[in-house]
Amino acid sequence: MSPESDPSSQLPDPALLYGTILVCATPADQGERLDRFLADHLAGLSRSRIKTLIEDGAVTCNAMPSRTPSAPVRAGDTVQIEIPAPLPATPRGQSIPFPILHEDDDLIVLDKPAGLVVHPAPGNQEGTLVNALIAHCGDSLQGIGGERRPGIVHRLDKDTSGVMVVAKTEIAHHALSEAFAARDIERHYLALCWGAPQPASGAIEGAIGRDPRERKRMAVVARGGRYALTHYATERQFGLGAALIACRLATGRTHQIRVHLANAGHPIVGDPVYLRRKPAASMHITEPVRSLLLDFPRQALHAASLGFIHPRTGKALRFETPAPGDFAALIDALDDL
C-alpha cells in the first residue's frame, strides 16, 4: 500500500494539536495491543503517554470505553482518542492570596488552604499555588526546579490544608529536595478518622501502588508498590465513632495517610476517594453530629507542622498551624456530644 492510500498516513501529528482523533483498524492490525496499535498509528505520542490516556478513560473502541492497554484490537474497530489541550510551557502569575508563615531570600513557608491545587495539571491549569507564588515572587521564581513546578519541593493534596515550604533559589531547592528524599524532614498531620483505632498508637506498614482495579486510586498492594510507613497516635477518642489522630510520615508516598488509614479500617472523614460507603462507625455518633461528619465535603486532613534545617543558615526551623475552621468545627461538635 502506498503512503498516499494508507489511511493512517493522513492522520494529523498529535504532537501539534489536541482534540479528538479517530483511528480505524485494518486486517494488518488484527490482535494488536490497543496501546501499541495507537502508538504505531499516531506519531508524536509515546506508548507510555497513550497507556496513561487509556487508563484515564480518554480512549473508546467502537464508542465503548476501553481502559485496558493490552486489549486486542480487531479489524474494523474504530478507536477514538481524546488528546487534552497542552499546558502552557510556563505558568503565569495570578494574584491569589495565601497565608505566609515565614519568608526570606531562600524560601517561603506557608499555610496552604484546603481547596488550593499546588501546581498546574490537566483539569487545573490555573488558579494554583504555583500561579500565586509566581505573582508573589516575580520573575525570580521562574525555572527554580523546573518550569512547570517552580519552587515546589513537596506537595499537599488539593483538599488537604497545612504547612508547606517552597524554595526561592536553586540552592534551597536542591537542599530541601534532598532532605525530603532522605526523610530528614519532620512532618506531622492531624486526621479525623472513623472508628476507634486499636491499638491507640502504633505504626501502619504497607507498600503503596496503583489500585489494580481503579488506576486513579492508590492502594496497599502485595506487589509492585513502594514501601510506606506511617506512625500514628490517638489524640482524642470520641467513643467508638471517631478519633482525632496525629500521624508522622516515615515515608512520603502519594495519598499515604489516606490509604493506610482506609486499609486499616479507619478512613478519614470526608475522603471522597477512599471512603466509598457509609461507615459502620457512624452509627455510634448521634444526630446532628453524624450528618455533619457524613456530609463533610473534603478529607479531614491537616498538615499541622513541618520542621527542617534551613539550607543556607543551618538553623533548625519548625512551623505549626492549627486546623482550619471547618475541621475545627467538627472537633467542637464531637466534643459537645
Q: Which residues are catalytic?
A: 157
Among candidate residues 206, 198, 252, the one with its CA nearest the CA of residue 227: 206
**Cα angle: 265, vertex 185, 133; to 5 degrees:** 100
Give the integer Cα–Cα distance in Å for 54 and 211: 15
The length of the chain is 337
Give the integer Cα–Cα distance in Å for 293 and 288: 9
291 three-class SS:
helix
* 79: its cell numbers: 478507536
> DSSP H helical segments within 56-200, as ranges?
129-137, 170-181
Q: Give 244's Cβ-side CA count (13 Å radius).
A: 16
